[in-house]
Amino acid sequence: MTRPGQQPSSGITAAPSGPGGADAVRILAVGSEGGPGFLPGLRAWAAELQVELEWAADLPRATRLLAAGRWDLVFAALGERPDEELAWWTDALRGAPGPPRLVALADRPSMGLALRAEKLGVLDVVALPLRREVFASVLARVRCAATEVALPLPAAAADPVGQYALVGQSPAMLEVYKLMARVAGSTATVLIEGESGTGKEVVARTIHEHGPAARGPFVAVNCAAIPENLLESELFGHEKGAFTGAVARKIGRFEQAGGGTLFLDEVADMSLALQAKILRAVQEREIERVGGGEAIPVTVRLIAATNRDLKEAIAQGRFREDLYYRLAVVTAQLPRLADRGDDLLLLVAHFGRLFGERYGKRIDAISDRALDLLRGHRWVGNVRELRNVIERAVIVAADATLRTEHLPDELRAEDTGADDRPQQGLPALAEVEARHIARVLTHTGGQIGAAAEILGIHRNTLTRKMKEYGL
């Protein structure tokens, strides 16, 4: 039998064997054993269902046990501040070996708590007192998840672009490659449009590297990252003493990019005043440093990118139309990851190998369930988000296969486990409404006004419903 402090041979990823076997499911239960209504029969059920069980009476003891060995499940009783405790638990488990899945136990859990738990990747929220059939059902889900099948990752041809690479063979990407080939040879200004994380900078670098200015520098400026009051000096430079903090003369990015390409990322985030100065630089081919009176000629190829609809921004008076037409001599539209079909698998293979090399691991497979989860995800952050997910998965992977347990909580939360979850019937209308509201609030980053607008209801109604559902 494996005890905390020892390293069990494997966790839930292997099929469970008999009682006390090396592969037995290991459960850590946290809470006062004698507390009112808390897990009265858990010890007996654990023995009956052939799982190992340890108790920790409080959080510090639980943390010590978590650090000392590998656990498959943690049953944690939430106290008076269930939301905070839930967040704490998911965070604490993220750093534990495994990491284990969480089953949260609460007195009369609200719908809001259940939804938040789902978002955090909690396996289940269970009402106290715990019943045997619920315990058995949770256990069945964990055991079922152990039956993942490894699928070999395909070879992914990658065209390296600096520290990045262009990966993909989907029709949508082939169109992008064709456009890049057409514009690279010219010095035309290019506007690259596409959602966040679709690879706008990689495309810009590729155009630069295959263009006439390839020997010159490629200088990228992220207009969304730099504080508004510093962006002008970042782009055009400044003379010493031009403003507080101008401790020395600074050469701006326009000058740095001389003879090469200047890539203005998130160009829609510039103020109108700065847009006017950019327009002048593009038209006159000269700039002035902040605090300097001298006109400095610059020869740069300009590539701009945005994740916003610039035409809509023009209509709203937030973007200069004349600058738009100066930038959009050629326009490239990058596809969303969701529209790239099997590129997803190629990208997983590419990132798996890339990060495998970086972290000294060999990654050559992904489990069927994990791949299903990746395919079904919304990918708001497109390839950038996928890259992040795979990097994290590679870090925590113990062997050459990426599995669901290596994916972030948010993604695992999308695992409905339809085949092993007990049939609970159709959801009530209120539950559907609560879920939808929660989803929209996530989309708006919790901004009630924007969420109310999307939902088509008054913000007061939304506030009332949020209170009602405990969101």
Partner 1 sequence: MRVEQALRLLPDLEALMPLRGLLLASARPDERIQWGSGGPYLTVGKRAVEPGELASRIDQVLAVVSAHVASLYRAYVEALERQEQGDSGSAVTALLSAGRLEERADRAPQAAAWYEVALALAEGLQDRRPEVETLLALGHVYLGTGQYPEGARHYQRALVLAEAEFDQAGAIDASAGLGSVALERGEWGGAQAWYARALRLVEAGGDRLRVGRIEHRLGLLVRRQGDLAAAGDHLRRARECFEELTASREMAEVLDAQGQLDAALGRPSAATAAYREALAWVRRGEERDAGLEVGVRLHLAELFLATGRLLEAEEEMRRAEQLAITSNLTRRLVQIYVLLGKLRGQQADETGFVFFEQAIELCRTLERSPVEEARVYHEYGLFRHRCGGPDEARAHLEHAREIFRSLGVETEVEQVQAEIETLTA
Binding site for partner 1 (CB under 8 A): 58-60, 62-64, 66-67, 84-85, 88, 91-92, 95-96, 196-197, 200-201, 222-228, 230, 245, 247-250, 265-266, 269, 307, 380-382, 384-385, 388, 391-392, 395, 442-443, 445-450, 459, 463
Which CB atom, from 20 or from 95, has the smaller least distance to partner 1?
95
* Smallest distance, partner 1 to C-beta of residue 153, A: 21
Q: Closer to partner 1 at the Cβ: 18 or 245?
A: 245
Q: In the bound complex, what is the minimum distance in angstroms from residue 336's beta carbon to partner 1?
A: 12
Identify which of residues 89 and 135 has a Cβ nearer to partner 1 in the complex: 89
Phi, psi of 401 (to 5 degrees): -115, 135
DSSP annotation of 6 reads B
- Closest distance of CB 381 from partner 1, Å: 3
C-beta closer to partner 1: residue 186 or 196: 196
The CB-of-139 to partner 1 minimum distance in angstroms stands at 26
- Going from the C-alpha of 187 to that of each of 184, 210, 261, 267, the distances in angstroms are 7, 11, 9, 19
- Least CB distance to partner 1 at residue 431 (A): 24
Strands 250-251 and 237-238: antiparallel
CA–CA distances in Å: residue 405 to residues 87, 93, 131, 434: 18, 12, 26, 27
Alpha helices in 155-294 (DSSP H): 171-184, 200-209, 228-236, 253-256, 272-284
| CA 196/CA 307 separation, integer angstroms | 6
Minimum CB separation of residue 129 from partner 1 in Å reads 24
Bridge partner residues of 76 (DSSP): 30, 104
Return the closest-CA partner of residue 103 out of 24, 31, 44, 49.
31
Q: Please tell me what DSSP assigns to residue 185.
A: T
Tokens of 253: 């990015």
Element housing 56 (H / E): strand 52-56
Report in angstroms the alpha-carbon separations of 239 from 243, 245, 292. 9, 11, 6
Query: What gap in Å lies between CA 410 and CA 392, rounded to an integer?
Result: 13
Helix 111-119, helix 459-469: angle, nearest 10: 90
Where do we find the tokens 């497979």?
365
- Which one, 151 or 226, has the nearer CB to partner 1? 226
Q: Which residues pair with 296 in a beta bridge?
A: 287
Shortest gap between Cβ of 71 and partner 1 (angstroms)? Answer: 14
- For the bound state, the minimum distance from the C-beta of residue 368 to partner 1, rounded and expressed in Å, comes to 26
Nearer to partner 1, 21 or 381 (CB): 381
C-alpha 89/C-alpha 46 separation (Å) is: 22
Q: Provide the strand spans (E) within 217-351.
A: 218-222, 237-238, 250-251, 261-265, 286-288, 295-297, 301-306, 330-333
CB of 40 or CB of 381, closer to partner 1: 381
Nearer to partner 1, 84 or 159 (CB): 84
Residue number, 217 or 417, with CB nearest to partner 1 = 217
The residue among 285 and 358 lying less far from partner 1, judged by its C-beta, is 358
Rounded least distance, CB 239 to partner 1, Å: 13
Which is nearer to partner 1, 132 or 240 (by Cβ)?
Answer: 240
Residue 425 or 456: which CB sits closer to partner 1?
Answer: 456
Shortest Å, Cβ 330 to partner 1: 20
124-127: strand order across its sheet:
52-56, 26-30, 73-77, 101-106, 124-127
Rounded least distance, CB 382 to partner 1, Å: 7
The C-alpha atoms of residue 441 and residue 112 are separated, in whole angstroms, by: 12
d(CA 319, CA 316): 8
Q: State the minimum distance, in angstroms, from the CB of residue 267 to partner 1.
A: 11
